[in-house]
Amino acid sequence: MDQANTKLDAVYKRLMSKLDADGQKALKEAERSWIKWRDDEAMLMARVGGAVGDSGMRVDFANAQLKLINQRTEVLTEYAKQSAGN
């Protein structure tokens, strides 16, 4: 998961560098909200996935977080591509 977070951080920084002050503020707020949502969604995914016991829950939670981080990386990458054309 460290690699996924590193990749997400790089894309986030690249996007931040392309935005004006208002855009940067909006991205920071969106990212804070997304992190809260990611953790809540990952917990739901782990519970719905039928994790049994603490270790099963931790694994399912981590897998769900990884999936969501990868999806967010794709979204921010698309935003970066769109902002390059502006």
**Phi and psi (nearest 5°) for 46?**
-65, -40
pLDDT digits (tens, 9 = 90+) for 45-73: 998 876 666 778 889 999 999 999 999 99
State the Cα–Cα distance between residues 8 and 13, nearest whole angstrom. Answer: 9
Distances (CA, A) of 9 to 13, 15, 35, 53, 69: 6, 10, 13, 32, 10
The distance from CA 25 to its chain's CA centroid, rounded to whole angstroms, is 17
What is the pTM assigned to this prediction? 0.87
Quick check: 2 pLDDT over 70?
Answer: yes
Note the pLDDT of residue 64. 95
| In the chain, where the domains are located | 52-86
